[in-house]
Amino acid sequence: MTENTTRASTFAPVNIAVIKYWGKRDTKLNLPTNASLSVTLSQDDLRTHTTASCSPSFTADSLTLNNADQDISGARTQACLRELRSLRAALESKDSSLPKLSTQPLKIVSENNFPTAAGLASSAAGFAALIRAIADLYQLPSSPTELSRIARQGSGSACRSLMGGYVAWRKGDKADGSDSEAYEVQPASHWPEMRAIILVASAEKKDVSSTAGMQQTVASSALFAHRAEVVVPQRMAAMEEAVKAKDFEAFADLSMKDSNNFHACCLDTQPPIFYMNDTSRAAVRLVEAINASHPEGKKYAAYTFDAGPNAVVYYLEKDADTVAGTFKTLLGDKTGWSGANGEKIKARQGSLEGTEVAGEALKKGISRVILTSVGDGPRKTEEHLC
Amino acid sequence: MTENTTRASTFAPVNIAVIKYWGKRDTKLNLPTNASLSVTLSQDDLRTHTTASCSPSFTADSLTLNNADQDISGARTQACLRELRSLRAALESKDSSLPKLSTQPLKIVSENNFPTAAGLASSAAGFAALIRAIADLYQLPSSPTELSRIARQGSGSACRSLMGGYVAWRKGDKADGSDSEAYEVQPASHWPEMRAIILVASAEKKDVSSTAGMQQTVASSALFAHRAEVVVPQRMAAMEEAVKAKDFEAFADLSMKDSNNFHACCLDTQPPIFYMNDTSRAAVRLVEAINASHPEGKKYAAYTFDAGPNAVVYYLEKDADTVAGTFKTLLGDKTGWSGANGEKIKARQGSLEGTEVAGEALKKGISRVILTSVGDGPRKTEEHLC
């Protein structure tokens, strides 16, 4: 760090939606066609670490991710930087004693602690960390919800990574997007028992980028408008209730239904978009078998799939051996079981009835697992990357 | 054949829908939630051959398929036999000179000329042949449309196999099902250039039977009612127009959209139903690549998938080398290319750009091909099976 350099660093989390964001009603402002709701995952397991610094001696804005230079000329990143600078400039114009950081070039350095190739939605954590670090650098008084309106313009789902626990993203109605923001439904401490196992599918080229895919769906699916206008609003209300009541049964039912509904709209797109593959189908069948083993006919686990073949399976801590233990029996030789989260999971003895075919497909198609849990929002840190 | 035995034999065709039947509004009468439209395929390639006979010396009704005894006590088969006997009894009561066949036990012998394990919708051809053969045995004056109301009760899609060419099945509105019947949109001679290649996927246990699956969809999909009430009625009208105008571009577009829309509703079912697998996805990508090679941006081919992973690809005769030739390049070593249909197809030189992954998946997942074309309705034959 050279003289006159100011800096701030943050960790920001990944989030995995249980009511899915898919479709924009405004592509420039990243305004969604429907609300969404996600679980913020623990930064102990998955996080982006970002340091934002500025100095009059820097020559231009720059961003590196995992030591590789990134293009920041894109409209989305530029919109975020412009909005943050504008907030800083307003502070500086009110208080002339403040250093004129808004006019200085920014140097942003980011690192993900998870494999980028794993196909995990890293842009959410990345933009949330970038926004949070710059907001701290600029000492902005903005709330997470206010910052979420900026993060949304970088990557839609990033707005939900500015808070911990159970986070919703309001669709909003205004054309300028000022009411399309994230809010905390409940903090992680409200329902800290939520766990997740991510089954990372072997690398395969992604079918269609989510940015392109969602607009193809909006333009061509005969079913999507019904999802956005009728199905999701009902499920959002029910899911907020489920989280408040810590009702895992309802949470699981809604999560699985909404994941399938989203992928159904992808399949109904012209040309059809397939994110789930035979490995994903096998994960669905395993979760169904785990649930079928419940003595009271309840649900132990819920699957959800983002725009890729990886399964994220939510469950409660008390059922760790039942849920994660079943996957450990099958996938115990894959990466991801070492460390505190994985070592304490007891592998299930014997396989579940009728899962032989699905089990073989999973063994073949899954390359690693990640064990994690609900977690907090971005954390300020004094560990600086530059 | 013993003395006093009366008999009649028929060949009946398979049909493959391009606007799909999925969902019943009345499970007893097999009344559909929406109309459907299919292409009747040539009996030179795929057919059920059935002989119906009756004799006072028979002790009970019986049915064999490919030399194996079949249970005919099911409500569906019984409904068909009851209705046909009742029509015969009415003739007998009007003309006392007629033999009292309606009171004699029936012996029905059927054979499919295609592998039952191939997962082709054999019940349509099977029930159509059964109905047509008994109607001929009984010398019923009923039209194919009148018989279609009976066949529908055996297996919904069987009603469309009583006619050739391009056949629609009207949803109907009446509770007794009397207006839910098949009608010929156009005969095969109107548009005889229609060809089909069926890519038969390697044996895999079917996900869910279509009978059970469709009612799970009706009961649990949040999207299905929109399909049945809004999407299909529009597409039926457009598809009838496309067939009348011999507009392959519209035919292909509607076929692919409707197949995807149907499978989207399967995926939106709780628990989700997956009929398409990674092999099916590869077939979709190959057809897309074939179409992308059209110099004017038009469509050479259309895929459609029934309740299983097999792809049926429709194309016009003039494009045989472009469409079937592409599959011959990839799948030339599989069963199905010998015989007149296959030998005349010229394999494409070199592969289509960007289809390497999909091509490998097809080579691995497809066990045989069937080359066929649009064809006529059931044919009376003097080749008797008993």
**pLDDT of residue A117 exceeding 90:** no
Distance in Å, alpha carbon of B285 to nearest chain A alpha carbon: 9
Q: Is the peptide bond before B115 cis (omega within 30 degrees of 0)?
A: no
The helix/strand/coil state of B55 is: coil
Q: Please choose, from the candidates B172, B182, B186, the residue with its C-alpha nearest in 3D space to the C-alpha of residue B149.
A: B182
Distance in Å, alpha carbon of A284 to nearest chain B alpha carbon: 8
Cβ within 8 Å, pair A223-B231: yes
- Chains A, B: CB contacts within 8 A come to 72
Q: What is the mean pLDDT of residues B48-63?
A: 97
Q: Using one digit for the tens of pLDDT, what is the confidence trace for B314-369? A: 999 999 999 999 999 999 999 999 988 999 999 998 778 889 999 999 999 999 99
Q: What is the mean pLDDT of residues A94-103?
A: 96
Cβ within 8 Å, pair A260-B267: yes
**pLDDT > 90 in chain B, percent:** 91
Q: Identical fold at A6-187 and A194-373? A: no
Sign of the alpha-carbon dihedral angle for B186, B187, B189, B193: positive
- Report how far apart, in Å, the C-alpha atoms of A270 and of each of A222, A224, B226, B305 are: 10, 12, 18, 15
Q: Please choose, from the candidates A122, A116, A107, the residue with its C-alpha nearest in 3D space to the C-alpha of residue A12.
A: A122
Q: Using one digit for the tens of pLDDT, what is the confidence trace for B290-317? A: 999 999 999 999 999 999 999 999 999 9
Does the beta carbon of A263 lie under 8 angstroms from any beta carbon of chain B? yes
Supply the ipTM of this predicted assembly: 0.93
DSSP codes joined into one string, A116-166: GGG---HHHHHHHHHHHHHHHHTT----HHHHHHHHHHH-GGGGGGGS-SE
Model confidence at A119, in pLDDT bands (50, 70, 90)?
low
**pLDDT of residue B50 exceeding 80:** yes
Q: What is the mean pLDDT of residues B220-224?
A: 98
Model confidence at A209, in pLDDT bands (50, 70, 90)?
confident
**A227 → closest Cβ in B223, B263, B270:** B223
Cβ within 8 Å, pair A284-B272: yes
How much is the pLDDT for B359?
94
Q: Using one digit for the tens of pLDDT, what is the confidence trace for A289-327? A: 999 999 999 999 999 999 999 999 999 999 999 999 999
How much is the pLDDT for A120?
76
Tell me how far apart the alpha carbons of residues A136 and A50 are, in angstroms, rounded to a whole number. 11
Most confident of A117-121, A274-278, B338-342: A274-278
Contact residues on chain A for B270, CB-CB shorter than 8 A? 256-257, 260
Does the beta carbon of B222 lie under 8 angstroms from any beta carbon of chain A? yes
Print burial letters for B295-324: b (CB count within 10 Å at least 16), e (below 16): eeeebbbbbbbbbbbbbbbbbbeebbebbb
Distance in Å, alpha carbon of A263 to nearest chain B alpha carbon: 7
**pLDDT of residue B117 exceeding 60:** no
Tell me how far apart the alpha carbons of residues B311 and B369 are, in angstroms, rounded to a whole number. 10
**A264 → closest Cβ in B230, B265, B278:** B265
**pLDDT > 70 in chain B, percent:** 97
When the pLDDT of each residue in chain B is averaged and rounded to a whole number, the result is 95
**pLDDT of residue B121 exceeding 80:** no
**Superfamily of chain region B194-373:** GHMP kinase, C-terminal domain (3.30.70.890)
Q: Phi/psi of residue B318, each to 5°?
A: -65, -20
Contact B168, B355 (CB under 8 A): no
Helix (H) or strand (E) run with residue A331 in it: helix A320-331
- pTM of the predicted model over 0.90: yes
**pLDDT of residue A22 exceeding 90:** yes
Contact B369, B331 (CB under 8 A): yes
Contact A180, A354 (CB under 8 A): no
Cβ within 8 Å, pair B277-A272: no
Distance in Å, alpha carbon of B35 to nearest chain A alpha carbon: 17
Among 3.30.230.10, 3.40.50.2300, 1.10.3720.10, 3.40.50.720, name the CATH number for the domain at B6-187.
3.30.230.10
Q: Phi/psi of residue B364, each to 5°?
A: -75, -35
Q: Please choose, from the candidates B8, B13, B76, the residue with its C-alpha nearest in 3D space to the C-alpha of residue B48.
A: B13
**pLDDT of residue A4 exceeding 90:** no
Q: Which two tokens stand for residue A10?
A: 């943050």
How much is the pLDDT for B372?
96
Cβ within 8 Å, pair A260-B281: no
Distance in Å, alpha carbon of A94 to nearest chain B alpha carbon: 53
Q: Using one digit for the tens of pLDDT, what is the confidence trace for B68-90? A: 999 999 999 999 999 999 999 99
Domain ranges in chain A? Answer: 6-187, 194-373
